[in-house]
Amino acid sequence: MRSLLLASLVALAPVAAAQSSLTTTLVGGLVLTATAPFSNTIYADLTVTNPTGLILTQINMRAQDGAAATNAFDVYLTAAGGTHVNNHGTAVPWTLKGTCSGFGTANPTVLTLDRGIYIAPGTYGLALHCKGFRTVYTNGTTQAPPLPLVFSNADMALDCTTSVIQNSTSAAPFSGGQSAVRTPNLQLFYQNTSAVNFTATTRSGNGPLTVNFTEGSVSMDPAGFTVFAWDLDGDGVDDTFGPTASRTYTCGDYSVRLTAYDALGNYPITRTNYVTVDLLGAVFTWSKVSEPALFQFTSTASTSTTSYAWDLDGDTVVDSTVANPTWAYAPGCAPVNVSLTVANSCRTFTRTSQIAPTDSIETTFAANNAGATGYAVNFDANVTALDGIELCGLHLNMNTLTIGTPFTLDVYTRRGTYVGFDTNPAGWTQVSGASATNAIGSQTYVQLNSPIYLPPGITGFTVVATGSALAYTNGTGTNQTFSNADVTLSLGQVRTTLFSTTSTLFTPRVLNVRLNYKDASLGMAGYYTYGAGCVGSLGIPGNVGVARPRVGQNLVVDFTNTPAGVIPFIGFSNTLFQGFPLPIDAGLIGAPGCNIQTSADINGGLAFAVGGVSNWSIGIPLDPAFVGVHLYIQGFSFDVINALGGSFSDAASGLIGN
């Protein structure tokens, strides 16, 4: 009997379920003031003029403030001949007709009903209940040009003459304060033929995975659908019949087709790769575990993974087949491509990330927010390493879905915190920049054009990406500080425009970043002040490293605020001078209030001042034995201010690097 019925039904031509739509407007930007969890109800009157009625299948709506996991949407209608007017405070005239759940808040948000709603010819009050998000609307009278109040086509009309938006709650759709007359931003999608739909339980996971299917169809035939045929594996052959179906799947991707039959025709709907079993992801993390550059790699790939293949040095040769290998590198900031290929019974997936085989500190890469190109992200780095650190690269989380998107990165620093100085360029220096292309699903490495030396103490940072955008995480008060033995990061905030008092501020925000750096153990060169000088006629003579000390190169220093010239003194200690503890008060030799802060083992000669700046340099021998040696430098500035005839500059420490 069933075969005869199917034979007769198959003879019916498939009916194309083309959708039509009616749009009010999608240009609005207004929302009701409310607090989370948000809920709104939208009211209008709907008239169906198509003589056979129609099936409402989807509503597109401009929305904001929601989250895909918690959003829900309900559609209510009054009885035919009803209206929404004067029915905003009672549930009596309303009937729940359709629902939708688990969607985002893109603009417009697509709300596909779980089951289409058949609406016979007539006029109805329409209520759309938004649960967990806010609808966007338009003030039709102030829009230029003004909007119409009635929107219609050959099949339906939506009367917004008295439309309002209501601050309802998720539990009470017909309650709350109301707006003045407002035009909701809607697209109503419908069809004039039977509508076929289906839903399923969990559609992805590890096999064996059992998926249960339920039809959600609406027929234009008063007798309804008589047969439902399911092709559950995409092979073009129907596997089972009835309003529900079930199948247990193994590894793979499976398309599902439901064909519903009524007296008017047959209506197929196919969803491609609707069921996914044993999906693979080759995600991994890495960390330095011992000197000079032994790294531990940890796979966080899918649990269905059965094999691992690591290329750990970028030569396309497999170096390890264990899940969590270690690898020793020559230390440095040059990027190295590391690839992990994972496989299971039906899939293979490869992920490649660039790493820098050097020390690093990471914040978090669990982004839940992002800026736009040109946004300025601020944070502080408090360096606790005795000789400072040298920042040579950054791993970043980029906000783009297109792999290989080129962007530039500019890095600005200032001595001291960024707090209170983020809207004024004074005191900031653009210290480095770089160009890169983004990765997808992994950290994007940016090697700086010029390494940035960070002395002990606090350095404020401003980081700007152009051509792409930086991703970050909203601060909670407990996720904003990250520390290791060398540095503590305090994060942070975002400005929409660099150093602008009119920019919009978002705070707190945690930049998703891994700072890659070298320290003294890797031959870093350093130069920083450790003690204050005494006042001369132009102020306190400064001691600024222009070129840090490296073997085979010159150490270059500017002594600022020097009226005539400077004698630099080089010492190999900042604690003892000829057996006496430092600092030593120079008041005994005619310079009261001045401290001698270096052992002054070498007289560096004489540097004459030009415009108040005495530029001085000294060559460092090309001998690796000097790497790691500390120099302590202080200048005596000639000045007619005391009996000694001068003042002492700030004292600085120099670390000879390679």
Query: Within this chain, do residues 364 and 503 fall inside the same structural domain, yes or no?
Result: yes
Query: Within this chain, do residues 576 and 462 fall inside the same structural domain, yes or no?
Result: no
CATH code assigned at 432: 2.60.120.820
Residue in 236, 517, 239 with CA at minimum distance from that of residue 387 = 517
pLDDT in tens, 162-192: 999 999 999 999 999 988 899 999 999 999 8
pLDDT along the chain (658 residues), means of 10: 40 59 86 79 96 92 74 94 96 94 77 90 96 84 75 96 92 92 92 89 93 93 92 97 97 97 92 95 90 94 92 96 96 93 94 92 92 95 96 89 81 96 94 74 86 95 94 94 97 96 95 94 92 96 95 97 97 94 94 95 96 96 94 97 95 95
Distance separating alpha carbons of residues 25 and 187, to the nearest angstrom: 8
Q: What is the pLDDT of residue 27?
A: 80
Instruction: Choose one of 498, 522, 546: the last residue of a domain.
Output: 522
The DSSP letter of residue 7 is: H
- Asked whether residue 10 is assigned to any structural domain, the reply reads no
- Asked whether residue 13 is assigned to any structural domain, the reply reads no
Query: Within this chain, do residues 419 and 480 fall inside the same structural domain, yes or no?
Result: yes
Instruction: Choose one of 156, 191, 226: the last residue of a domain.
Output: 191
Q: How many Å separate Cα 254 from the centre of its chain?
A: 32
- Asked whether residue 4 is assigned to any structural domain, the reply reads no
Query: Within this chain, do residues 128 and 225 fall inside the same structural domain, yes or no?
Result: no
Query: Within this chain, do residues 311 and 439 fall inside the same structural domain, yes or no?
Result: no
Residue type, 193: T
Query: For residue 549, what are the domain limits?
Result: 526-655
CATH code assigned at 187: 2.60.120
Instruction: Choose one of 191, 217, 246: the last residue of a domain.
Output: 191
- Asked whether residue 125 is assigned to any structural domain, the reply reads yes
Q: At CA 296, angle to CA 293 and CA 298, rounded to 5? A: 155
Query: Within this chain, do residues 313 and 389 fall inside the same structural domain, yes or no?
Result: no
- State percent of the chain over pLDDT 70: 94
**Number of domains comprising the chain:** 5
Q: Are 138 and 183 in contact (CB under 8 A)?
A: yes
Query: Within this chain, do residues 211 and 317 fall inside the same structural domain, yes or no?
Result: no
- Asked whether residue 509 is assigned to any structural domain, the reply reads yes
Indicate whether this model's pTM tops 0.85: no
- Mind spelling out the 3-state secondary structure of 397-427? CECCCCCCCEEEEEEEEEEECCCCCCCCCCC
Rg of the chain taking only CA atoms, in angstroms: 35
Query: Within this chain, do residues 63 and 171 fall inside the same structural domain, yes or no?
Result: yes
| Sign of the torsion formed by the C-alpha atoms of 489, 491, 496 and 499 | negative
Q: What is the pLDDT of residue 5?
A: 40
pLDDT in tens, 329-372: 999 889 999 999 999 999 999 999 999 999 999 999 988 898 89
- Asked whether residue 6 is assigned to any structural domain, the reply reads no
Which class for 21: exposed (0-12), middle (13-18), buried (19 or more C-beta within 10 A)?
Answer: middle
